[in-house]
Amino acid sequence: MNLSTDLSTTNSCTTLEPSNRYLASAVVYGLVLAVGLPLNTLSLWILLRTHGFRSPCAVLMVNLAVSDLLLALSLPLRVYFYATLQWPFGAATCTAALMMFRVNIRTSCIFITLISVDRMIALVFPLRSRSLRTPACALKCCAVVWILITILCIPEIIRLHGALKGCPNIPCFEVQASPESSRVIPLSQAMFLLVLLLVNIVSTVVVIIVLRKRPSAEAAKVNNKMNVILIFVINMLVFIIFFLPFTLQLLTYNNDDSGEVIRALVCLASVNCCLDPLIYYFSLDSFWQDKGKRQTDAGTYSLSRSMDRS
């Protein structure tokens, strides 16, 4: 996520030789592009058309889809680079492509966590959380996330562009951290991701406990408990499969590493944009239905109805 925060001109202007790893990267990113771009575009269109910003859950999902589209839109350049090992687009385009990818990793983790927390609160405290769980509040939270991530990325953008603009042959997505590179930023990002993972785990455990016990007077009634539990478990598994290996590698990375392992894990993390539409959108019984039909459909579980009425 931040291996290239500080770069030296020497190690950011090297010439690459063809290898099977570069070819494999081109294939994987090409597959992610072919699946992720249409799925996220379709999901975003359906969310805006049938759900809009009428519930906090829908607001969070729209922002997650936008985040995934940022990643998908940066992938054609990655595919071209790894297929040709050439970068004729300049330092500014390289910096933009790198940052679009990193912003997705950072914002996706946050939005996935917010979705889990929102659903947990809706299940455990459906009445008391009514004033907190509103579309306006969700929009404000998402705006804060985008603003903070953008501000935190500004120094990184400046350093990346400054290090790459003098290179005659930019190995854009293969830039290495310089020996003087600070460990503070990648370590802080790794710790933040671990905190988000812990929040997802706690949310999942709380939901399972609440659903296993007899619901209290305030707890929301859920018709299909297994579907609700499955959604929380899948949220947690996405973190464990796609983000945890990358996070642990950030914690153990040192400047003597070749960087091949972490690039492979970055490649794995990019796959999350293909699964987000399936996990967070299509897992909802009411995803394809408009608001009026959702409220009258007896097959829609009560947790979704409580979100829509917020």
Residue 63's pLDDT is: 92
Question: Predicted confidence band at 291 (pLDDT cuts at 50, 70, 90)?
Answer: very low
pTM score, two decimals?
0.79
**How do residues 154-195 score in pLDDT, each as one tens digit?**
988 888 888 787 776 777 887 654 444 556 767 777 888 889
pLDDT: which is higher, 1 or 154: 154
Whole-angstrom Cα distance, residue 62 to residue 87? 33
Tally of domains within the chain: 1
End-to-end CA distance of the chain: 36
Q: Please report, for residues 12, 13, 91, 159, the alpha-carbon distance to residue 166 in angstroms, rounded to integers and kept in the order given.
A: 10, 9, 8, 12
Mean pLDDT of 134-143: 91
Statement: residue 257 has pLDDT above 90: no
Mean residue pLDDT of the chain comes to 75
Q: Is residue 89 part of a domain?
A: yes
Single-letter residue type at 230: L
- Give the rounded percent of residues in the chain with a pLDDT score beyond 90: 11
Q: Is residue 238 part of a domain?
A: yes
Residue 139's pLDDT is: 93
Whole-angstrom Cα distance, residue 310 to residue 305? 9
CATH number, domain at 175? 1.20.1070.10
The one-character DSSP state at 242 is I
Q: Give me the domain span that covers residue 273.
A: 20-287+301-309
Statement: residue 241 has pLDDT above 70: yes
Q: Is residue 3 part of a domain?
A: no
Q: Is residue 59 part of a domain?
A: yes
pLDDT: which is higher, 99 or 221: 99
Give Cβ neighbours of residue 126 (< 8 Å, ≥ 6 apart). Answer: 218, 219, 220, 306
Whole-angstrom Cα distance, residue 167 to residue 91? 8
**How do residues 106-128 score in pLDDT, each as one tens digit?**
898 899 899 888 888 888 887 77
pLDDT: which is higher, 284 or 164: 164
pLDDT: which is higher, 4 or 110: 110
Q: Is residue 130 part of a domain?
A: yes
Q: Is residue 305 part of a domain?
A: yes
Residue 34's pLDDT is: 92
pLDDT: which is higher, 159 or 302: 159
User: The tokens of 60 are what?
Assistant: 């969070």
**How do residues 207-216 score in pLDDT, each as one tens digit?**
888 877 755 4
Q: Is residue 123 part of a domain?
A: yes
Statement: residue 293 has pLDDT above 50: no
Q: Is residue 295 part of a domain?
A: no
Q: Please report, for residues 1, 269, 305, the alpha-carbon distance to residue 71 in angstroms, rounded to integers and kept in the order given.
A: 13, 11, 31
Mean pLDDT of 147-160: 89
* Least reliable range by pLDDT among 61-70, 88-97, 300-309: 300-309
**How do residues 40-91 score in pLDDT, each as one tens digit?**
888 888 888 877 788 888 888 899 989 989 888 889 999 998 888 888 888 8
